[in-house]
Amino acid sequence: MRARPALVPLVAALPETVPFVGPEAQERARGRPFRARIGANESSFGPSPRAVARMAEIAGDMWMYCDPDNHDLKLAAAAHLGVAPENVVVGEGVDGLLGLLVRLYVGPGDPVVTSLGAYPTFNFHVAGCGGRLVTVPYERDHESLDGLLAAARREKAPLVYLSNPDNPMGSWWEAHEIERFIEALPETSMLVLDEAYGELGPASALPCVDVSRPNLVRMRTFSKAYGLAGIRCGYAFGEAQVIRDFEKLRNHYGVSRMAQVAGAEALADQAWLRDVVARVDAGRRRIAAIAAENGLDPLPSATNFVTVDCGRDGAFALKVLENMLARDVFIRKPMAPGLDRCIRISVGLDHELDILAEELPGALVAARGN
């Protein structure tokens, strides 16, 4: 056997897995496309027409590198939040920003607190830095604020993850409950508050913007409500020194010229955002109605998806998922114990929800074996 360069021990010990198998990979394996792509929590309504027009206008400028300072988008995000530019950092979506944050605060063996079944990409980054995940079970389909707080205190965790609104359950906490949680956290525990779905839930779920705390970073994305998942762009905001620390690690040419322009234009078109939010709300109501008509229990949602309780165990919900995929409907499901009784359905275009209504009854019959 030929000798080969050795990986560092930390990387050599990692499994050869990725957080998600994308619908494209599934389509390649199946040899045909999905008829309804309602599983990745993308916005089928697309980006702002204003953003699309501006992207088309600058397409010929892509021979130039991007601005490594992300200057215009940083200013736009800061103005949108009502903070100074030094309180904002732009990155390759929430995923990229989470990776940087983990590298900033987590070393080999360090405990990192999160919920059991929460965002797997965060766990992926923690594993890549050698951190030790400390998971807290959900309570009544919500991330447990009391449980996360107790774990952070017990473990003296340098990093705590919380999403609000939550993925994969669609649940949310009101702002005053989040603020109480933040106040109670140890000052030495950095909280990352993932607000990827923040624009889609009730305004009462988002705490007031406060960039004075050195143990809080909040993250938002252009992938969900703004319909720009394909450009990989998001931003984080927090206390100025915390944001400056990102400069030590971030990929300064990681956010493309196109992404920077699209993000700024998307923020400028709040009328389009309001229209999308209304359409998402209508889509949630339709998915809930389809689920209820089929004897399933749709959970309340503050996101662009509806998590649906299939009424049995995880094995049954998995059969429902598999039978929907076989019917060319791409959906996903939570996998953690206690949550795995559910499937998760993203809001889509009307014709995609028509297909959902058409195919779900047969998938349930097949899953039940009758």
> Residue range 238-261: average pLDDT?
97
Residue that is written with structure tokens 């971030």 in the block: 250
pLDDT of residue 19: 80
How far is residue 272 from each of residues 48, 75, 256, 276, measured CA to CA in Å?
6, 20, 23, 6
Sheet holding 159-163, edge to edge: 88-91, 234-238, 216-221, 190-194, 159-163, 111-115, 132-136
* Euclidean distance between CA atoms 84 and 347, whole angstroms: 34
Instruction: Tell me what percent of the residues of the chain surpass a pLDDT of 90.
Output: 98
169 with 142: CB under 8 angstroms? yes
Q: What is the pLDDT of residues 257-272, one digit of tens each?
A: 999 999 999 999 999 9
> Is 49-268 CATH 3.40.640.10?
yes
207 with 165: CB under 8 angstroms? no
Residue that is written with structure tokens 């960039």 in the block: 211
> Residue range 17-46: average pLDDT?
94
> Residue range 178-188: average pLDDT?
98
Q: Is the pLDDT of residue 141 over 70?
A: yes
**Nearest-CA neighbor of 197 among 156, 166, 228?**
166
Residue that is written with structure tokens 């009462």 in the block: 204
Kind and range of the H or E element at 64?
A: none
Confidence of residue 1 (pLDDT cuts 50, 70, 90): confident
- H-type alpha helices, the chain: 9-12, 23-30, 49-58, 71-81, 93-105, 120-128, 145-155, 175-184, 240-246, 257-268, 270-293, 314-326, 350-368
Cβ neighbours, 10 Å, residue 114: 25
DSSP-derived letter for residue 355 is H
pLDDT of residue 34: 98
Domain boundaries, given as residue ranges, for the chain: 19-46+271-368, 49-268
Q: Is the pLDDT of residue 17 over 90?
A: no
136 with 151: CB under 8 angstroms? yes
Question: Per the confidence metrics, is the pTM higher than 0.95?
Answer: yes
Category of 367 on φ-ψ map: left (φ > 0), alpha (ψ -120 to 50) or beta: alpha
pLDDT of residue 16: 87
Q: Is the pLDDT of residue 37 over 90?
A: yes
Instruction: Tell me what percent of the residues of the chain surpass a pLDDT of 70.
Output: 100
Confidence of residue 110 (pLDDT cuts 50, 70, 90): very high
Of the CATH numbers 3.90.1150.10, 3.40.50.620, 3.30.460.10, 3.40.640.10, which one belongs to the domain with range 19-46+271-368?
A: 3.90.1150.10
- Name, in order, each residue with C-beta under 8 angstroms of 196's C-beta and a sequence gap of 6 or more: 94, 163, 167, 219, 220, 221, 223, 224, 234
Asked whether the domain spanning 49-268 has the same topology as the one spanning 19-46+271-368, the reply is no
How far is residue 11 from each of residues 6, 44, 104, 347, measured CA to CA in Å?
10, 37, 18, 37
pLDDT of residue 370: 67
pLDDT of residue 305: 98
Q: What is the pLDDT of residues 53-102, one digit of tens each?
A: 999 999 999 999 999 999 999 999 999 999 999 999 999 999 999 999 99
Say if residue 165 is preceded by a cis peptide, omega within 30 of 0. Answer: yes
pLDDT of residue 251: 96
Q: Is the pLDDT of residue 349 over 90?
A: yes
165 with 171: CB under 8 angstroms? yes
3-state secondary structure 187-244: CCCEEEEECCCHHHCCHHHCCCCCCCCCCEEEEEECCCCCCCHHHCCEEEEECHHHHH
**Nearest-CA neighbor of 237 among 220, 253, 221, 218?**
218
Beta-sheet pairing, 111-115 with 88-91: unpaired
